[in-house]
Amino acid sequence: MLQSFTIRTTKRDEMVDITSFVEQTVRQAGVREGFAIVYCPHTTAGITINENADPDVKRDMIRRFDETYPWEHPLDRHMEGNTAAHMKASTVGASQHVIITHGKLLLGTWQGIYFCEYDGPRQRTFYVKVVEG
């Protein structure tokens, strides 16, 4: 089963918890054992799994990415001016795989799945593919 989702981000850099969208897709697919692939088709956004209990984790991650990849750098040549967004997206990656067991995502107690926006605000799409096996 392949499901497409559209979200609207509200900030230049933002981590949006999409765990419920992935769980919904797993329920609809009715798969008891298998895996879910969460994929982002954008070059300035990504998908990660990280802590979903303390909102400071998201803030800290965004701040540290900004420190590592500053938005403006005198040597950047990309004419759109969003080289930092491309760097952040490449670091995070475009997808995550999550095991499904007993019909549920196998995530740690504090884990959530996040759509990571690095060039917003924008309307974005991500995909969830559920595979039985």
Give, in order, the Cα–Cα distances in Å from 20 to each of 9, 41, 75, 88, 115. Answer: 16, 19, 40, 24, 12
- pLDDT score recorded for residue 85: 96
pLDDT (tens, 9 = 90+) of the chain, 133 residues, equals 999 999 999 999 999 999 999 999 999 999 999 999 999 999 999 999 999 999 999 999 999 999 999 988 787 777 677 999 999 999 999 999 999 999 999 999 999 999 999 999 999 999 999 999 9
- What is the number of structural domains in the chain? 1
- pLDDT score recorded for residue 110: 96
| 87 φ, ψ (degrees, to nearest 5) | -65, -45
Provide the residue range defining the domain that includes 113: 2-132
Which CATH number do you get for residue 110? 2.60.120.460
CA angle 38, 43, 48 (to 5 degrees): 35
Distance in angstroms (rounded) separating the CA atoms of residues 52 and 29: 24
Distance in angstroms (rounded) separating the CA atoms of residues 30 and 104: 10
